[in-house]
Every structure is written in structure tokens, then in C-alpha cells.
Amino acid sequence: MPSEQRLHPLSFLFGIGAHLRGFALPILVLLVTTGRSGLGWQIWFLWLAIPYAVVAVGRTLSYRYRYDEHELVIRTGFLFRNERHVPYARIQSVDGVQNIVHRLLDVVEVKVQTAGGKEPEAALSVLPLAAFEEMRRLVSARRPAAAPSDAAVPADATEATATTDRARILLALSPRELLLYGFVEGRGMVVIGAMLGVAWEFGFADPPIPWFVDRFVTDEDQPRKPGDGVFRFLARAIFKGGNDLLGNVVIGLATLFVFLIVVRLLSMAWAAVRLYGFTLTREGDDLRTAYGLLTRVEATIPLRRIQSLSLHEGPLHRLVGRVSARVDTAGSQPGQNAPPDRLWLAPLVAASELPALSRQVLPTLSLGDFVWQRVHPRAGRRITKALLILIGLAQLPLAVGVGWWGLLSLGILVPWASLHGRRSASAMAFAITDDLVAYRSGWLWRRTSIAPFARVQAVTLRESPFDRRHAMAGVSVDTAGASTDPRERIAIRYLVRSIAEQLHRQLAHEAARRTFRWR
């Protein structure tokens, strides 16, 4: 029997750390409050953390794993013992996450994922780096080779298996590209939100609060001073006709502009740190991504597990000629904020390099050859009509509350609804090739989802009463690991009814002809 291995000796620290994270806020509150009023009875609440610490130490000491011939065996527990067998063939990926403390200690948090369930099959927290590399190597070596008949397995899969050791870099994002990514994605508000959160937790926000309260909350003896804030100042300047209207408007716009720039800059910094050194490599039948400056993430995407590909481009993406690409798999992703089951193929890739990259995932895909079929010619009018009804309902209370001049905003909203209806309807289109189906939508933020027939789980034809009135119908395609966001699914609406019926029939038949494989 192969010898058993244990976790890294310092694992219990991370175990305690993980439990203490739940206590972080209460403890901080404790420290802050005791700092002001002296050590009080509250400190005794800290004893509550001790059972967690004992559990963490016990778990660390009892955790053992070994590599059997066909499976990974994990044993845990002293009192309640558990032995888990995970066959190598079922393992989808062995992923590692290293935050900054992990990196200082040369250890890594490992997650072993299989297809079933949302939780990782095994979470080994933490392993020495060498043990992680060994696990990866052993698991991928002992996993049986892919079935060659699968549509999603690239044609050169067998060649690639022969040269497993030679990894090919498919995409490496330079710092410049990362900054560009941060710029076009505009995630600066996330950073601001995080900073506010941190400031709040550590009490940095405490001094401004009394200041803020003093300024804006009125006392009985102190008359209120309206219009101290930038926006209120601006609003007052516009509506009350201040002494220097134009000057104030310019100052207000400049402030807004600077704010937007700061948000973009923060977003760029965020991207540079989070996705630092992003590389996508092809190793045999697996794609591997690695990124992160502080928290280092290494994730594996087995090609056989990829269910669909989705592309996303906003107006800024188009301006710089870039696209971002994700894949859906049946597993899940390490890392905190990212939605599960969605994996980066490329946060940002030049539009010209996209065809080559996407062929790695779906070998028969040639984006340029798609024959896009539009939706019903009256789709735009329906979208506009629905929007107008919504706008009307939203404007009603405004009109009652502010008076009829509140309806002035209709002057902008109505043309917008008409434009949005027309443009978004003309952006919607689907395409069918010999072995896959694609759907695109959105005119400002364009999304394209592509799924091979072999990955289609169910096909649905939908008709609402409104659809029937216009002789329209929708067709949606269900795949494993699909996003919960309906805009990122293949859910085609507003089709001409006869086309929808034909598409539904064709998709169901094509899917039935092909065997679905997890592996």
C-alpha cells in the first residue's frame, strides 16, 4: 500500500484562520469598543472561538491522503472517521489558490474537483507546493485518455497526449494588456466598495462620521446649511439660479469627469493585481490558467469538460479591438468573487487572435463563417412597446409627485426606447453549423454564446400569449454548467414561429444523434 501523506504542518493555522474570519468583525468591534471603555465583560466572548480552534487542529492532524492505483484516498477524523475514494478518472481538475500568506510559507490550498455537485470533492488546506505539483502530475498521468470521438475534443488531442509534457502557451497577458483590461471592464467601483468596507471595519471611517454628522444633520439651535455637497451645490445652481451658474456647472462636470477617471484608474490597478501574469497554457488535453499577484490562482480546464463558450464585448472593447472570452464547464472555479462554473479563457484577447484561440476549445468553430439569421422583423417594435409601458408606469408617480413637468424626461426616454428596441432586435441573431449552435445579442454590450450539439442537454420551444399574437416563439438550449444570467445563455427570443419550430426540431434531433460525454 502506498504511504500516506499529511497536510503541511502549519495547516492548522489556516484552519483557525478560516474560522476566525467569521469572527473578524465581532472581534474588531470588541477591540474598538474596549479601546474606548476599557476591557469589559465582552472579552469573554473570545472563548467562543476556542472550540473552532480545537476542531481546526484536530482536522489538520487527522487529515491523510494517499495515491492508490486508480483512486485518491482521503481519510479524515479521529472520532468520526471518514474515508473518501475519488477515482482519478472522475477528477476534473486539481486547482490551487495561494494568497499572500500561503506564498510566504510556500504552501498552497488545493481543491480537487469532480463533475458532481457544487462543492469540491476534496479541499486540502494546505499542502506544500511540491506536494501540489506531485498531485497534479500523478492525477493527470493516471487519468485515462480521452475518447477521441467527442466533438469538443480537438482533432490533435491524440498528438497532444503523446507530448503531454510540452506545454504550449496560448495566451499571456502583458501588464499593458492588463491595464487595458482594467480600463475597458471598469471595475473601479468594486475597489472603492472594498476600500470603504476595509475603512469601515478598521474604524478609519470613524473620524469622518462625526464630522459628516455635524455638517449635515441639523441640531435645533443650528440652522440647516443646504447645498454643501458637490451635487447638491450643482443642483441648487441649476434649479435656483445661483450667482455663477455656468461656473458651477463647469466645476460640477469637471468633478464628475475626475471621479470617472479615478474609478477607471482604480479598475486598472485592480486588474493588474488580480490578473497579474495571466497565462493560458495548453497541456495535453487540459487548459491551464494561472494568475494573481497577491492571491495566486492556478486552475485547470479539461478540454473535454468544456460545455460552451461565451464571448463578451462592450463599447470600449470594440474601440480597442478586444474581446473577452469565458467557458462554462461542469466544475467550479477557485477564487472568491467569481461566479461558479465560469472560467476565464481570456479576460482580454485581440479580436484578430480570437479565432485561433477559440479553435483550441471548439476545433470546428470558425466565427467568420457563421451565417447569422435574424429574429422576427417586428421584434424591435415589441421590445420598444414593452419598454414604453415600463417607462409609463415609472413616470406615473413622478408626474403625480412633481407635477406635469416631471414628464419632460420622456423627451429622452421615448427616443431611447425606440432606439434600443430597434438596435437590440437587429443585434439578435442565431447561427447553426454542422455541429454547433450560436446566439448573439446586445448592441452596446454584445454577447455571443456557442455550444456544440454534443453538449446540448435539452431544447425548449417557448411561447407567451404575446408571442402567439405576433406569430413568434423562442427557442432555448440548456447546457451543463450554464450561467444563471439569462443574457449569457442560448435563449433565443422573438423568432418567426415557423423558424423557431424548425430550429427546435433540428436542435433536438442533432443533440440526440450525438453522445454526450462528461469526460
Partner 1 sequence: MESPQPLKPPSVADGVEHSLDSRSIDVNRISGAVFFGILLLIAFAGAVVAAIAASGPVWARLLLPFAAVPLLGVAFAWFVYRWPLVEHRHISYRLDEDGIAIRRGVFWRHAIDVPRNRVQHTDVSQGPVERNFGLGTLVIFTAGTEHARVTLGGLDHGVALRVRDHLLATGRDDAV
Judged by CB, which is closer to partner 1: 110, or 459?
Answer: 459
Using CB under 8 A as the binding rule, whether residue 502 contacts partner 1 is answered as no
Among 218, 484, 498, 502, binds partner 1 (CB under 8 A): 484
The amino acid occupying position 405 is W
Determine the interface stretch with partner 1 among 7-15, 173-181, 354-362, 510-518 (rule: CB under 8 A). 510-518
Using CB under 8 A as the binding rule, whether residue 458 contacts partner 1 is answered as yes
285: its cell numbers? 488535453
Rounded alpha-carbon distances, angstroms, from residue 63 to 81, 237, 449: 10, 67, 42
CB of 468 to partner 1, least distance (A): 8
CB of 474 to partner 1, least distance (A): 9
Buried b (16+ CB within 10 A) or exposed e, 216-241: eeeeeeeeeeeeeeeeebbeebeeee
- The 78-117 contact track toward partner 1, x by CB under 8 A, reads ------------x------------------------xx-
Judged by CB, which is closer to partner 1: 158, or 464?
Answer: 464
Using CB under 8 A as the binding rule, whether residue 381 contacts partner 1 is answered as no
Using CB under 8 A as the binding rule, whether residue 503 contacts partner 1 is answered as no
The neighbouring-strand residues paired with 300 are 288
Handedness of CA 233, 236, 239, 242 (dihedral sign): negative
Among candidate residues 486, 349, 375, 356, the one with its CA nearest the CA of residue 429: 375
Among 481, 488, 492, 495, binds partner 1 (CB under 8 A): 481
**Residues in binding contact with partner 1, number by CB under 8 A:** 35
CB of 35 to partner 1, least distance (A): 49
Determine the interface stretch with partner 1 among 40-48, 287-295, 438-446, 461-469 (rule: CB under 8 A). 461-469
Using CB under 8 A as the binding rule, whether residue 508 contacts partner 1 is answered as yes
171-230 binders of partner 1 (CB under 8 A): none
Establish whether the linkage from the previous residue to 126 is cis, with ω within 30° of 0.
Answer: yes
Buried b (16+ CB within 10 A) or exposed e, 164-201: eeeeeebbebeeebbbbbbbbbbbbebbbeeeeeeeee
Question: What span, in angstroms and rounded, lies between the C-alpha atoms of 39 and 120?
Answer: 42
Rounded alpha-carbon distances, angstroms, from residue 60 to 14, 100, 301, 322, 476: 9, 21, 29, 46, 47
Among 348, 482, 496, 499, binds partner 1 (CB under 8 A): 482
319-348 binders of partner 1 (CB under 8 A): 330
Contact 459, 504 (CB under 8 A): yes
Among candidate residues 102, 162, 160, the one with its CA nearest the CA of residue 132: 102
Determine the interface stretch with partner 1 among 68-76, 377-385, 437-445, 500-508 (rule: CB under 8 A). 500-508
Judged by CB, which is closer to partner 1: 379, or 459?
Answer: 459
Using CB under 8 A as the binding rule, whether residue 409 contacts partner 1 is answered as no
Determine the interface stretch with partner 1 among 9-17, 231-239, 351-359, 511-519 (rule: CB under 8 A). 511-519
Work out the number of other CB atoms within 10 angstroms of the CB of residue 396.
12
147: its cell numbers? 475518447
Using CB under 8 A as the binding rule, whether residue 462 contacts partner 1 is answered as yes
Judged by CB, which is closer to partner 1: 138, or 461?
Answer: 461
Using CB under 8 A as the binding rule, whether residue 296 contacts partner 1 is answered as no
Determine the interface stretch with partner 1 among 154-162, 178-186, 418-426, 458-466 (rule: CB under 8 A). 458-466
Handedness of CA 265, 271, 276, 278 (dihedral sign): negative
Using CB under 8 A as the binding rule, whether residue 492 contacts partner 1 is answered as no
Question: What span, in angstroms and rounded, lies between the C-alpha atoms of 518 and 399?
Answer: 56
Using CB under 8 A as the binding rule, whether residue 459 contacts partner 1 is answered as yes
**Applying CB under 8 A, which residues contact partner 1?**
90, 115-116, 330, 456-465, 476, 478-482, 484, 489, 504, 507-509, 511-519
